[in-house]
Chain A
């Protein structure tokens, strides 16, 4: 079945460091890919998404490119801030799944120190 694998956390970075969180997926069809973020004490919210191969999603300085050949959707940010500390979830939604249910990775906790 469909699945998502993320790099394990926690990831600890200093402010202004470069961030990469790896995400790879397995899907039978042509999925849409998402990054959701959960800030401390808040609910899940969409960070960015890409719906077809080679699309790049971007938001708040974060970006991720849908790579069909490597089945990956790695999240990157050039210069992280303390306020980026959160748990990041990679997810997919397969066209074959009725309604578009999301399949999530296990999450990667990011801690940014000043």
Chain B
């Protein structure tokens, strides 16, 4: 079956530009997570959705970051007025139900480079 997909795979943006990153989770998965992975580091949590409800956005680094999942499936992470420090790989993951022991299935990531 299809896994988690993300688009675009690569994005180059000029500083100050707005970007939108898309995540298509595995069909039927309730939970959806966004993570940010800087070069040579482990992923860091950004935000979490249960269906369409954004239940945790404690990891979003600033109010320039915004995420939505309006119909409980596809999610979009939007970054406004991009800065160089936003350059990273953005990972999306989904899991069938919520819970600390549940396996998360990751997409290939979107590599964002801000010039």
Q: List, in ascending order, chain B residues with CB within 8 A of A95's CB.
A: 100
A4 to B41, CA, bound (A): 12
The smallest C-beta distance from B65 to any residue of chain A, in angstroms, reads: 16
A100 touches B42 (CB 8 A): no
- Chain A residues in the interface with B (C-beta under 8 A): 4, 31-32, 34, 36, 42-46, 49, 51, 89, 91, 93-95, 97-107
B106 pairs with A49, CB closer than 8 A: no
Whether A100 contacts B98 by the Cβ 8 Å rule is yes
Closest to B42 in A: A104
Q: A106-B42, A107-B41 are in contact. Are A32 and B100 (CB under 8 A)?
A: yes
Q: Chain B: how many interface residues by the 8 Å CB criterion? A: 30
Residues of A within 8 A of B107 (CB): 43
CB atoms of A101 and B48 under 8 A apart:
yes
The chain B residues found within 8 Å of chain A, CB to CB, are 4, 31, 33, 35, 40-45, 48, 50, 55-56, 59, 91, 93, 95, 98-109
Asked if A44 and B106 sit within 8 Å, CB to CB, the answer is yes
What are 25 inter-chain pairs, A to B, with CB distance below 8 A? A4-B42, A32-B101, A36-B106, A43-B4, A43-B107, A43-B109, A44-B93, A45-B106, A46-B104, A46-B105, A49-B101, A89-B43, A93-B101, A97-B100, A98-B55, A98-B98, A99-B50, A99-B56, A100-B31, A100-B95, A101-B56, A101-B59, A102-B45, A103-B45, A106-B42
4 closest A-B pairs by beta carbon, nearest first, are: A104-B42, A51-B101, A32-B101, A44-B106
Tell me, in angstroms, the Cα distance from A103 to B58 when the chains sit together: 13
- Whole-angstrom distance between the alpha carbons of A31 and B101 in the complex? 8
Q: Is the CB of B100 within 8 A of A94?
A: yes
* CB-contact partner of A44 in B48, B91, B102, under 8 A: B91
**Chain B residues with Cβ under 8 A from A94's Cβ?**
100
Please give, as numbers and ranges, the residues of chain A lying within 8 Å of B42 by CB-CB distance. 4, 89, 91, 104-107
Q: Is the CB of B106 within 8 A of A106?
A: no
B31 & A49 in contact (Cβ 8 Å cutoff)? no
Chain A residues positioned under 8 Å from B91 (CB to CB): 43-44
Q: Which residues of B contact A4 (CB under 8 A)?
A: 42
**Provided the pairs A44-B91, A98-B56, A101-B56 are in contact, do residues A93 and B100 lie with their beta carbons within 8 angstroms?**
yes
